[in-house]
Amino acid sequence: MDNGLTGLLGLCRRAGKAELGEEPTAAAALGHKARVILLASDAADNTRRKAESLGQQGNAPVLTLPLTKAELGGALGRASCAVVALTDMGLAATAVQKLSQADPERYGAAAETLGKKAAKQDRRRREQRAKEKARQAKSRKPWAAPPAEGRKT
């Protein structure tokens, strides 16, 4: 299964938008920074329970990937990795969309939810930029002609 998901996960790690392992994932989830928590298919039951608890506390969906720990770790530049939290809404929505393309029944609802959240965040960001531009335009002083030449000072 490689519809670009492993490459996207590697990109997230290189961009600093992925927290790898249980402790960094817990910190991201409890700080409400995690947008989605992804588990390897062969993650231990204790890891799975802990991730689901963190997902509830941090209001982030927890999804089991069709990748093993070795495959997930390989995508992230490690030997193995059981759990990863994506902290960027756009990248998280894209990753879940890729999962949804492969298995719509399993990941479709999560993809739709994260897609709506990403669109809402993008809209808010555009509105904030427009407000900032308007504020800057108002604070500019109007253009004034330079002093006339021949004036003695």
Q: How far apart are CA 139 and CA 132, in angstroms?
A: 11
The whole domain housing 27 covers 5-137
- Our separate counts of H helices and E strands in the chain read 6, 4
Q: Is residue 87 part of a domain?
A: yes
* CATH number assigned to the domain comprising residue 98: 3.30.1330.30
Tell how far CA 73 is from the center of its chain: 18
Q: Where are the beta strands (DSSP E) in the chain?
A: 18-20, 36-39, 62-64, 83-86
Q: Is residue 93 part of a domain?
A: yes
Check residue 152 and give its pLDDT.
Answer: 61
Q: Is residue 150 part of a domain?
A: no
Q: Is residue 69 part of a domain?
A: yes
Check residue 136 and give its pLDDT.
Answer: 83
Check residue 141 and give its pLDDT.
Answer: 67
Q: Is residue 146 part of a domain?
A: no
Q: How far apart are CA 66 and CA 2, in angstroms?
A: 10
Check residue 138 and give its pLDDT.
Answer: 77
Coil, helix or strand for 94? helix
Q: Is residue 13 part of a domain?
A: yes
| The total number of structural domains that make up the chain | 1
**CA–CA–CA angle 111, 68, 74 (5° rounding):** 95
By CB atoms closer than 10 A (0-12, 13-18, 19+), residue 46 is exposed
Q: Which two tokens stand for residue 44?
A: 């231990």
Q: How far apart are CA 79 and CA 126, in angstroms?
A: 40
What tens-digit pLDDT sequence spans the chain (153 residues)?
457 889 999 999 999 999 999 999 999 999 999 999 999 999 999 999 999 999 999 999 999 999 999 999 999 999 999 999 999 999 999 999 999 988 889 888 999 999 999 999 999 999 999 999 888 877 776 776 777 776 665
Check residue 153 and give its pLDDT.
Answer: 55
